Structure 1
Amino acid sequence: MTKQVAVIGSLNYDIIVKQQRMPYKGETFIADTLVQGPGGKGANQAAQCAKLGMPTIMVGKVGQDRFGDALVGSLTAIGVDTSYVKRTGSTGLGIVHVMPDGDYYSSIIKGANELITIQDIDEIVGDLMNAAFIILQQEIPQQVTEYIIKRFKDSETQIVLNNAPACHIPSDVLRGVNLLVVNESEAAFMTGKSITTIEEASSAGKKLQEITGDTVIITLGKEGSIAVNNEKNEYFAAKKVKAVDATGAGDSFIGALVYSLSKGQSLDECMKFATEVSAKTVMKEGGQESFPTEKELRKGLVR
């Protein structure tokens, strides 16, 4: 059976603390509430693809512990093929502090995510060749991510790279990426230029696009996003909504973007759709559970 999208990346169990502010150095601060659930950039992006109805496989590693059980179980329940998720070591964790305006501070413990190897990829390369898209991030070893990009550079499979957390990537590797998605801080890291305005984001997008030769998207949170390719450099405003929790919103955006691309829609249509979906995400608490489903879209909750 042909798989529409293969997500190769991290699976983290998220521990989300909602609080009024971050504590000062040496201070013990009392938080408001605790939310626990599935996360990790890779798993999140796979979850959103599957929730929108795309056949999705997840490739990664979790620990032989209750966190791993929860992560595999939650993805399986929403329709992701988890048969490519291996169990070893301890599961990666995400510690997230969410502020009243929905913004957050996040740290991760890599755990089993760091144990993915090039050999793991070689074992399933035939299955991966069936994917229309491969989505990658940087929460697994960078050498594995770069190997995948080089391995599929001349294939029909489209490579989507979310360079997060931001890493230095050789130009020859970036030229194998069909769609690069980064936020403003990641774009600033990659270009060495500060990004504080839409104009600066547009300039950074152009600079990155000249390297990849394909499509670059820079997300700007509540300020919107920039899309750059050979034909355009366009700004897309964010939806004005009451944000409750921005956890996973960037991953939701990417999943929705790839879903829309798989339907053959124009870049403008894809950007508008992804913007709508991520806006719905920030209006609910939590990570994957806040991602809108195909059924919700059909009911007109997003479109």
Structure 2
Amino acid sequence: MESKNVVVIGSLNYDIIVKQQRMPNKGETFVADELVQSAGGKGANQAAQCAKLGLPTIMVGKVGDDRFGEALVGSLTAFGVNTSYIKKQGSTGIGVVHVMPDGDYYSTIVKGANHLITVNDIDEISHLFDSTAYIVLQQEIPEEVVEYIIDKYKKDNLKIVLNNAPARKIKNAILKSVDILVVNETEAAFMSGKTIQSSVDAIGVGQEMLPQTGGMVVITLGKEGSVVITESYSEFFPSENVHAVDATGAGDSFIGALIYAMSEGSSIDQCMKFATHVSAITVTKKGGQDSFPTKSEIFHTEVV
């Protein structure tokens, strides 16, 4: 695959991040420690990490014609993402994230313009896929649009990466056309109906899910690490021992790094180790996209 171009089709959200000691109880007013405003959205985050690692990346999505949308487009542009195909319509999607002292978080999304993307919007950018190596999708845009993209480009000379987050039930024919499925343990449990309490559980669930996909399943396990399953390979990759400050966007950072490593032609083992390292750097800093490392910030790139 000569091209390394990445087209990310997905969400852009303006994140309002509240750092606090715990979540309030019902009816309780709880005083938080700090407020951080950041560019976010799963699609935008994954595009940002790809671009910050040097991949030619195009973001396709919608924001509102408001100051939040302007900030989101400006942030991606600064990171090197091609934002020419981001349209303005309605109001910008908002993410409200509550971050706990250990870095774990609770997140609520106001969908906004993200759910105004249509099949016609996808048809208008069909020319982009002539020179694309990877289409990257998530589930913060309309389900019918995600399905349309996967079905239309399943036989083309490119890889379709689906981050089924937030988790949806996926039609068998659609899931089978996904080359790389990436989910966390909660999303994998939702899809499989199985409980995941360990890396062994995750590998077992991944092996059951694998025949339903196009050939590769990655399940992230938060601070425990991640697993990868293919027809010939199953392995657990523990997370790096770092002081976690904020896990916001860490999963998206992992996905962007994974795509970068795959575009370099690295082995699955090397790709997983690199993605693990990049996401470990991410959680040591505050915020979303701003916490994602650039290529020059990564010292242990020998794993790629």
TM-score by length of 1: 0.97
- Deviation string for 1:267-297 (max 9, x for gaps)? 0000000000000000000000000001212
Q: 3-state DSSP class of the match of 2:131?
A: coil
In 2, distance between residues paired with 1:173 and 1:105?
29
Match of 2:86 in 1: 85
In 2, distance between residues paired with 1:132 and 1:241?
33
- Deviation string for 1:39-76 (max 9, x for gaps)? 00000000000000000000000000000000000000
Match of 1:273 in 2: 274
Report if aligned partners of 2:257, 2:275 keep a CA contact under 8 Å in 1.
yes
- Deviation string for 1:237-273 (max 9, x for gaps)? 1101110000000000000000000000010000000
Q: 3-state DSSP class of the match of 1:89?
A: coil
Match of 1:75 in 2: 76
2:245 is the alignment partner of 1:237:
no
2:233 is the alignment partner of 1:222:
no
2:297 is the alignment partner of 1:296:
yes
Report if aligned partners of 2:180, 2:214 keep a CA contact under 8 Å in 1.
no
In 1, distance between residues paired with 2:206 and 2:4?
30
Q: 3-state DSSP class of the match of 1:235?
A: strand
Question: Structure 2 matches for 1:182-197, cutoff 5 A?
Answer: 182-197=183-198
- Deviation string for 1:170-199 (max 9, x for gaps)? 111011101000000000000011111221
Match of 2:180 in 1: 179
Match of 1:133 in 2: 134
In 2, distance between residues paired with 1:214 and 1:302?
26
**Could you tell me which amino acid in structure 1 is paired with residue 244 of structure 2?**
A
Root mean square deviation, CA, Å: 1.0
Instruction: Specify whether residues 3 and 59 from structure 1 end up closer, same or farther in structure 2 by C-alpha distance, changes over 3 A only.
Output: farther
Report if aligned partners of 1:280, 1:302 keep a CA contact under 8 Å in 2.
no
- Residue 213 of structure 1 deviates from its aligned partner by 3.8
Question: Structure 2 matches for 1:1-303, cutoff 5 A?
Answer: 4-297=5-298, 300=299
In 1, distance between residues paired with 2:106 and 2:58?
29
Q: Which runs of 5+ in 2 are unaligned?
A: none
In 2, distance between residues paired with 1:241 and 1:249?
13
Report if aligned partners of 2:258, 2:271 keep a CA contact under 8 Å in 1.
yes
Instruction: Specify whether residues 302 and 265 from structure 1 end up closer, same or farther in structure 2 by C-alpha distance, changes over 3 A only.
Output: closer
In 1, distance between residues paired with 2:150 and 2:182?
15
In 1, distance between residues paired with 2:220 and 2:128?
31
Identity %: 65
**Could you tell me which amino acid in structure 1 is paired with residue 275 of structure 2?**
A
- Deviation string for 1:195-238 (max 9, x for gaps)? 11221111110111111140000000111111000111111111
- Deviation string for 1:89-147 (max 9, x for gaps)? 00000000000000000000000000000000001112123210000000000110011
Report if aligned partners of 1:296, 1:302 keep a CA contact under 8 Å in 2.
no
Q: 3-state DSSP class of the match of 1:129?
A: helix
Q: Which runs of 5+ in 1 are unaligned?
A: none
- Deviation string for 1:131-173 (max 9, x for gaps)? 1000000000011001100011100110000000000001110
In 2, distance between residues paired with 1:243 and 1:127?
38
Report if aligned partners of 2:254, 2:278 keep a CA contact under 8 Å in 1.
yes
Runs of 4+ residues deviating >6 angstroms: none
In 2, distance between residues paired with 1:9 and 1:208?
24
Report if aligned partners of 1:129, 1:157 keep a CA contact under 8 Å in 2.
no
Of residues 2-11 and 264-273 in structure 1, the stretch that sits farther from structure 2 once superposed is 2-11
Paired residues, number: 300
Q: 3-state DSSP class of the match of 2:253?
A: helix
Q: 3-state DSSP class of the match of 1:58?
A: strand
Q: 3-state DSSP class of the match of 1:156?
A: coil
Of residues 229-238 and 104-113 in structure 1, the stretch that sits farther from structure 2 once superposed is 229-238
Report if aligned partners of 2:244, 2:283 keep a CA contact under 8 Å in 1.
yes
In 2, distance between residues paired with 1:108 and 1:97?
12
Report if aligned partners of 1:16, 1:36 keep a CA contact under 8 Å in 2.
yes
